[in-house]
Amino acid sequence: MGQIIFVVWRECFEALLVVGIIYSWIKRNPNSSNGMRYLIGGVGLGVLISLILALVINGIFKELTDDHQTIFMMGMSAVACVLIVQMVYWMNKHARSMKSSLEQEIAQQVARNSWWGALFIIAIAIAREGSEIVVFLSGQIMQLNSHNYARFCIAVLIGSSVSALTFYTFILTSRFIQWKKFFTITGTILLFLAISLLMKAVEDGTNILLEHDISIPDFLINPAWDTSQLIDDSGLIGSLASSLFAYRSQPMWINVITFGVFWLLMTILFLRKKSK
């Protein structure tokens, strides 16, 4: 549940930033009196695209057999991991210019009297955030049933509400608080979420290989250590740490290697960006 709340909170906050930037531009420009209905239409279209993507993913999943469902979930977890890294990297690189870039694109469409173009810019921006939520939470979406559906909706509602409150706080305090640190911290947590998804994919892949009697070196599947006496990942705190920070109380060595290689690549990627 904590993973769902965090992802929805962060992605909805970014979507609200996009809407807020465009809303502010429309209010500042007297020649954009028709802009509000296109803004609302763009937001609605973006949300609709995200919902359609969720339905497509869920529909494909339900048509697959058990083994193929596992493989499909592995693929979605890997895709989500890559998207998270790309998103955090992009935000670190373009966060400062996002406002001016959006305003420039909208202004160009309005200058051509092409509000439909502006609508699609808004829709794409919202659909991007919405589709990221769908892909990041694809594992939970594909396992929805009558028993956990209400819990999932409650988590989404909490995440959306907290993002709205965060956005309101952002508006009130943007002149006094260094929000760059906020994006840095939440971006780091998102990277932990990425490695958590990747490790889940690796674990599922390992289980499939073992079920089909495909040999794996013993040292890769042996536990590296046992911290279940300290924090058990089946408990409340351990489960939250597992979903958000890739914690394992009894990690296999293949998990440890995956974790180490991932963070080595992230260090190289972001230090390289910083040096440029």
Give the CA distances from residue 46 to residues 20, 85, 196, 246, in Å, rounded to whole numbers and listed in that order: 15, 22, 28, 31
Nearest Cα neighbor of 266 from 11, 136, 258 is 258
* pLDDT given for residue 255 in this prediction: 93
* Selection from 78, 125, 123 nearest residue 101 by Cα: 125
Q: Is 268 helix (H, G, I), strand (E, B) or coil?
A: helix
Distance CA 184, CA 29 (A): 32
Question: What pTM does this model have?
Answer: 0.78
CA dihedral 47, 48, 51, 52 (to 10 degrees): -150
Q: Give me 98's structure tokens.
A: 């996002």
- Checking if the pLDDT of 97 tops 80, the result is no
| Percent of the chain clearing pLDDT 70 (strictly above) | 93
Ranges of each domain in the chain: 2-275
For 46-94, what is each residue's pLDDT tens digit? 999 999 998 898 888 888 888 888 899 899 989 889 988 988 888 777 7
Alpha carbon of residue 129 to chain centroid: 8
Predicted confidence (pLDDT) at residue 276 exceeds the cutoff of 70: no
Residue 99 has pLDDT above 80, yes or no: no
Tokens of 132: 């990221």
| pLDDT tens column, 115-167 | 777 788 888 888 888 888 888 888 888 877 788 888 888 999 999 999 999 88
Residue 35 pLDDT exceeds 80: no
C-alpha distance from residue 67 to each of 10, 204, 207, 252, 254 (Å)? 32, 10, 11, 22, 21
When pLDDT is cut at 50, 70 and 90, the band that residue 213 belongs to is confident
CA end-to-end distance (rounded Å), the chain: 38
Nearest to 1 by CA among 108, 137, 105, 131: 137
- pLDDT per residue as tens digits for the range 170-209: 877 766 666 677 778 888 888 998 999 899 899 999 988 8
- The band of 271, judged by pLDDT with boundaries at 50, 70 and 90, is confident
* Per-residue confidence (pLDDT) for residue 227, from 0 to 100: 92
Q: Report d(CA 226, CA 75) in Å as an integer.
A: 29
